[in-house]
């Protein structure tokens, strides 16, 4: 990874879903580029590991154990980071789940699975943005980057209507937030990962046939990495993206361009 030292010096960031995959890579990279980073996820141990990794390289991290879909927990986590650092500047609204094999064709889809995906992926991002934006407003502005998916507007995730709907909801919410906050100093944008090698895709990554099948759908011929997504998230969160709001930056090896 190419580090642009100090690009985020003095910035205070919170990343949801920071214990694994894209969130972890983003937290590590933000810290390497000078930001203080609040790490949100449900379990303490994996967050402690990420924090140790950041601190070992001289960075500053704060472990914030919270379930992103529980409003009191996400509010308390954002408040704690803001209190610790005197405000917040960047929110990466990233936490999400995919329930492969449980999310299913609509006529077979269990209501409880629908609710779980919508609550975690859509309501969770709403809550991160809500309680993060309050601190960005108090600080006079900042940047929010949401995580979306191509399946929000392409019927590519067959048998995953609930996951796709959750990402469609986040896309619509992000566009409206971008306009609502445009003149209040908060830039809101979205990174749209394609097929990325993270724990979310571990079953596919381990299955040679499945991996070959999915890689074949991608013009670049391989899955992306969490760090390639983190690079895009950091760019949108940085001052270099000062004229971008409501943008979707697609990091998918060309998959959606076919």
Ligand X SMILES: NC(=O)c1ccc[n+]([C@@H]2O[C@H](COP(=O)([O-])OP(=O)(O)OC[C@H]3O[C@@H](n4cnc5c(N)ncnc54)[C@H](O)[C@@H]3O)[C@@H](O)[C@H]2O)c1
Binding site for ligand X (CB under 6 A): 16-17, 19-23, 40-42, 67-69, 94-97, 120, 124, 147, 149, 193, 195-196, 198-201
Least distance from C-beta 80 to ligand X, angstroms?
Answer: 15
CA–CA dist 98, 164 (Å, integer): 10
Nearest to 19 by CA among 42, 48, 53, 46: 46
What six digits make up the tokens of 243? 């004229």
Least distance from C-beta 115 to ligand X, angstroms?
Answer: 13
Least distance from C-beta 106 to ligand X, angstroms?
Answer: 20
Residues ≥6 apart with Cβ < 8 Å to 73: 66, 67
Structural contact between residues 39 and 19, judged by C-beta atoms closer than 8 angstroms = yes
Q: Say which DSSP state 199 is in.
A: G
Of 5 and 212, the one with the shorter C-beta distance to ligand X is 212
CA–CA dist 84, 68 (Å, integer): 20
User: Looking at beta carbons, which residue is closest to ligand X?
Assistant: 21
CA–CA dist 93, 253 (Å, integer): 22
Of 75 and 139, the one with the shorter C-beta distance to ligand X is 75
Nearest to 34 by CA among 14, 4, 64: 4
Least distance from C-beta 122 to ligand X, angstroms?
Answer: 10
Least distance from C-beta 163 to ligand X, angstroms?
Answer: 7
Residues composing the chain:
258
- Helix, strand, or coil (residue 60): strand
Is 153 marked active-site?
no
What six digits make up the tokens of 230? 């983190």
What six digits make up the tokens of 36? 């203080």
Q: Could you say which of 163, 181, 213, 243 is catalytic?
A: 163
Of 23 and 142, the one with the shorter C-beta distance to ligand X is 23
Of 35 and 218, the one with the shorter C-beta distance to ligand X is 218
Of 244 and 256, the one with the shorter C-beta distance to ligand X is 256
Enumerate the active-site residues: 163
């Amino acid at each position: 990874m190419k580090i642009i030292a100090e690009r985020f010096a003095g910035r205070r960031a919170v990343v949801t879903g920071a214990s694994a995959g894209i969130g972890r890579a983003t937290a590590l990279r933000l810290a390497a580029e000078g930001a203080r980073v609040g790490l949100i996820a449900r379990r303490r141990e994996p967050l402690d590991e990420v924090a140790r990794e950041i601190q070992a390289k001289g960075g500053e991290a704060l472990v914030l154990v919270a379930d992103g879909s529980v409003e009191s927990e996400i509010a308390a986590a954002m408040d704690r980071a803001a209190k610790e650092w005197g405000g917040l500047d960047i929110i990466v609204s990233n936490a999400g789940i995919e329930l492969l094999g449980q999310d299913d064709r609509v006529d077979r889809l269990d209501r409880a699975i629908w609710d779980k995906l919508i609550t975690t992926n859509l309501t969770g991002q709403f809550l991160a943005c809500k309680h993060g934006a309050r601190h960005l407003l108090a600080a006079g502005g900042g940047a929010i980057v949401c995580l979306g998916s191509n399946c929000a507007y392409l019927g590519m995730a067959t048998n995953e209507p609930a996951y796709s709907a959750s990402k469609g909801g986040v896309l619509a919410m992000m566009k409206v937030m971008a306009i609502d906050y445009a003149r209040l100093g908060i830039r809101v944008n979205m990174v749209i990962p394609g097929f990325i090698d993270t724990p979310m895709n571990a079953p596919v990554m381990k299955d040679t046939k499945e991996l070959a099948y999915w890689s074949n759908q991608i013009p670049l011929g391989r899955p992306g990495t969490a760090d390639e997504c983190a690079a895009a998230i950091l760019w949108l969160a940085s001052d270099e993206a000062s004229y971008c709001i409501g943008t979707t930056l697609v990091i998918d090896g060309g998959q959606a361009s076919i």
